[in-house]
Amino acid sequence: MSTRTTVTRRLAVAAAALALSLGVTACGSDGGSTSSAASSSASTTGTGSAPKAHGDITVFAAASLKETFTDLGKKFEAANPGTKVTFNFGGSSALATSINSGAPADVFAAASPATMKTVTDAGGASGEPKTFVKNTLAIAVPKGNPKHIAGLKDLTAPGVKVALCAKEVPCGAAAQTALKAAGLNLTPVTLEQDVKGALTKVELGEVDASLVYKTDVQSDAAKIDGVDFPEADKAVNDYPIAALAKAPNKDGAAAFVAYIQSPEAKQALTAAGFQAP
């Protein structure tokens, strides 16, 4: 074999090897770009999505929210598979005391800003509480209104037994504001620790009337009647809600608070007699 032939073959082999190397590099470059783009897309999706609700969510809420929140809790669970909402309903002041004492809870919905303030002042809220509804008082009376009560003044008539919420409870504080606006002094036969307790006294026939929220009169319309009075406009309660700083389920708490402020929840709350904030 001549020297020229040998050189020619060597050049051909080198050219082929170079072409193969360039082809592999190009393929590697394309694959790497595709992988990088996919990784970037996945990363964006993961970081850009809002936190998903998951697990158990414990909500401490004012007693007057019981019917509406129970229904909204079921809707929230249906929209967020894998969640379980547990409610603790009661007087807002008692709930606030429990939260400040370390009771495990994710969300607090109070019936007054003053009650919520006891939690925020103790550093118990995560972020600024948001007012999501308002509520006003009405007089609850037995069906047929046997004492013919037409306003606050009738509650002071001889022989009329009245139940009020304790003054440290939002419904009790509102009642005192309304009575003061009417220039009346009223001595109740019982002071209850939440609005449902005051309502139950009327249901059982133990009192002739009680001062409760309009929403309670509406939800219990099958058992009691309600009487509106003008001084109620002087005692409107704002209802704030907040995720709690020590919430065991922070994502769930944030998701539930956001849901309560959603159009769907607002529609349900106003249908129950609450007022928009």
pLDDT tens profile 24-76: 333 333 333 333 333 333 333 233 344 578 999 999 999 999 999 999 999 99
Q: Does domain 137-234 have CATH number 3.40.190.120?
A: yes
Q: In this structure, which topology does domain 55-134+238-271 adopt according to CATH?
A: D-Maltodextrin-Binding Protein; domain 2 (3.40.190)
Q: Do domains 55-134+238-271 and 137-234 have the same CATH topology?
A: yes
Domain ranges of the chain: 55-134+238-271, 137-234
Give 277's contacts (C-beta < 8 A, 6+ positions apart). 131, 132, 133, 134, 238
Distance spanning both ends of the chain, measured CA to CA: 99
Beta strands in the chain (DSSP E): 55-62, 83-90, 107-109, 125-135, 137-142, 162-165, 190-192, 209-213, 224-227, 237-244
Contact between 160 and 188 (Cβ < 8 Å):
no
H-type alpha helices, 166-262: 170-182, 195-203, 214-219, 250-260
- Span 248-259, average pLDDT: 97
Contact between 199 and 224 (Cβ < 8 Å):
yes
- Give the predicted TM-score (pTM) of the model: 0.80
pLDDT at 52: 77
Residue type, 236: V
pLDDT tens profile 18-33: 343 434 333 333 333 3
Tokens of 49: 């999505």
